[in-house]
Amino acid sequence: MVASKETLDALGSIGLNMYQRKIYSALLSRGVSTAGELSEMTGVPRSRSYDVLESLADMGFAILKPSKPREYVAIPPYEALENVKELQKGKLKDKLAKIEKLRNSEAVQELNILYNEGVSLVDPADLSGALKGRYNLYQHLGNLIKSAEQEVKLLTTETGLKELAENYSDILSKAKARGVRIKIIAPITSENKESYLTLKDFADVRLPERENLSRISIIDGKRTTMALTHEKVHPTQDTAFWTDSSHLASGTLNPLFDMLWNSGKIPEKP
Is pLDDT above 70 for 49? yes
Is the domain of 54 the same as that of 179?
Answer: no
Distance CA(25)–CA(256), nearest Å, equals 62
Is the domain of 66 the same as that of 143?
Answer: no
Longest dimension (CA), the chain: 84
Is pLDDT above 90 for 186? yes
pLDDT of residue 270: 61
Distance CA(228)–CA(242), nearest Å, equals 10
Q: Average the pLDDT over 44-64 and give the result.
A: 92
Q: What backbone phi and psi angles, to 5 degrees, belong to 184?
A: -130, 130
Is pLDDT above 80 for 214? yes
Q: What CATH number did the domain enclosing 13 receive?
A: 1.10.10.10
Q: What CATH number did the domain enclosing 257 receive?
A: 3.30.870.10
Is the domain of 158 the same as that of 73?
Answer: no
Number of domains in the chain: 2
Is the domain of 58 the same as that of 165?
Answer: no
**Residue that terminates a domain, selected from 19, 43, 77:** 77
Nearest to 28 by CA among 81, 73, 79: 73
pLDDT digits (tens, 9 = 90+) for 112-163: 777 666 655 555 554 578 888 888 888 889 989 998 999 999 999 999 999 9
Residue 88 counted as domain residue: no
pLDDT of residue 23: 94
Q: Determine the straight-line distance between the first and last CA of the chain, rounded to whole angstroms.
A: 64
Q: Average the pLDDT over 241-257 and give the result.
A: 83
Is the domain of 137 the same as that of 51?
Answer: no
Is the domain of 131 the same as that of 257?
Answer: yes
Residue 118 counted as domain residue: no
CB 191, CB 161: distance < 8 Å? no
Is pLDDT above 90 for 68? no
Is pLDDT above 90 for 73? yes
Residue 90 counted as domain residue: no
Residue 249 counted as domain residue: yes
pLDDT of residue 79: 92
Is the domain of 157 the same as that of 241?
Answer: yes
User: Which residue range is the domain that position 180 belongs to?
Assistant: 127-263
Distance CA(237)–CA(27), nearest Å, equals 43
Q: Average the pLDDT over 186-192 and give the result.
A: 90
Is pLDDT above 70 for 1? no
pLDDT of residue 43: 92
Is the domain of 202 the same as that of 143?
Answer: yes
Question: What percent of the chain is modeled with pLDDT above 70?
Answer: 93
Q: What's the number of CA atoms in the CB half-sphere (13 Å) around residue 58?
A: 9
Q: Average the pLDDT over 253-261 and give the result.
A: 89
Is the domain of 70 the same as that of 132?
Answer: no
**Residue that terminates a domain, selected from 45, 77, 109:** 77
CB 256, CB 224: distance < 8 Å? no
Is the domain of 224 the same as that of 147?
Answer: yes
Residue 222 counted as domain residue: yes
Distance CA(55)–CA(185), nearest Å, equals 54
**What is the four-CA torsion angle of 116, 120, 123, 125, rounded to 10 degrees?**
40
Residue 99 counted as domain residue: no
Q: How high is the mean pLDDT of the chain?
A: 87
Is the domain of 16 the same as that of 136?
Answer: no
pLDDT digits (tens, 9 = 90+) for 222-235: 889 989 988 888 88
Residue 94 counted as domain residue: no
Residue 86 counted as domain residue: no
List, edge to edge, every strand of the sheet that includes 128-132.
Answer: 128-132, 239-243, 223-227, 216-219, 151-155, 181-185, 204-206
**Residue that terminates a domain, selected from 77, 111, 141:** 77
Helix (H) or strand (E) run with residue 53 in it: helix 46-59
Is the domain of 181 the same as that of 259?
Answer: yes
Check residue 16 and give left, alpha or beta (phi > 0: left; psi -120 to 50: alpha): beta
CB 224, CB 242: distance < 8 Å? yes
> pTM here?
0.59
Q: Average the pLDDT over 210-231 and give the result.
A: 86
User: What DSSP line would sit under 203-239, residue for residue?
Assistant: SEEEB-SS-----EEEETTTEEEEE-S-TTS-GGG-E
pLDDT of residue 127: 55
- Higher per-residue pLDDT: 248 or 195: 195
